[in-house]
Amino acid sequence: MLYPKIISLVPSITLLLFDLGLENSIIGRTKFCIHPKEKVKQIPTIGGTKNIDIEKIKALQPTIIFATKEENEKVQIIELKKIFNVVIFDVKNLDDNYNMIAKIGKLTSTEIKATEIIEQTKLNFEHLKNINSPSLSLYLIWRKPYMTIGKDTFIHAMLETIGLKNMFAHQTRYPIIQNLQTSYFAKCELVLLSSEPYPFTQNHINEIQEQFPNAKILLVDGEYFSWYGSKMMNAPKYFNELIKTIEQQSV
């Protein structure tokens, strides 16, 4: 059965729905659902991922709503579940990602396309290179205060997949870093500054380099580390280029 009225509360799922050929079935999205850039502009917004406009959703009367534990607020999802069919995913690694794609494919009668996306993603990850010298890495997602990622996040799984060692693998969720100038960070070899949710720039590299004089510091495209779904099809190509850059700077 094809659901004709779908609302996505997750940017990466919105992109996946387009890639599944469901463009005409999407009736609502969050303001952070920005891909595919031109097509997504035609779809009404229903607030942000964590401040959903429930009244707008009621007016749209969706047949199904897609959400995730990571992106959306539990209280709001509970409220929506009282009225609508809400499907919630918890994606922490590539296997979870494949299961999510398969389930959405089944729920929207796009199983064939969903299977193609899964198989192509798996094939592309088979061509992912192994980094020659794994670095002890700090992945920053926020500034003032600095925030990083723990072991139970999709970003952590991506770091492991490309062979990097997360400095905060002993913690969960998104630890706040009170002080970068401690002995613990002296062993940091690589700092990755994500493009989202905080938009780090070259100016921040210069700022952080002062605190990590011996570490390599790179800007990275956060979407390839956190946008599970069909975005992962192109992640291995990006990761291979990133690995190449890291290794060149190590020479």
Using CA atoms, how far residue 76 sits from 2, 48, 139, in Å, is 26, 12, 29
- State residue 251's pLDDT score: 46
Same domain, 90 and 165: no
Residue where one domain finishes, among candidates 125, 147, 163: 125
| Residue 1 forms part of a structural domain | no
Q: Where are the beta strands (DSSP E) in 13-78?
A: 26-28, 64-68
Residue where one domain finishes, among candidates 125, 149, 179: 125
Same domain, 148 and 238: yes
- State residue 138's pLDDT score: 96
Residue 40 maps to which CATH number? 3.40.50.1980
Distance CA 250, CA 39 (A): 41
CB distance 125 to 206 below 8 Å: no
Distance CA 188, CA 180 (A): 10
β-pair type (64-68, 165-166): unpaired
pLDDT in tens, the chain (251 residues): 455 799 999 999 999 999 999 999 999 999 999 999 999 999 999 999 999 999 999 999 999 999 999 999 999 999 999 999 999 999 999 999 999 999 999 999 999 999 999 999 999 999 999 887 788 999 999 999 999 999 999 999 999 999 999 999 999 999 999 888 788 888 899 999 999 999 999 989 988 888 888 899 999 999 999 999 999 999 999 999 999 999 887 64
Same domain, 142 and 230: yes
- The model carries a pTM of 0.94
CB distance 141 to 147 below 8 Å: yes
Distance CA 95, CA 161 (A): 12
3 state SS of 92 = coil
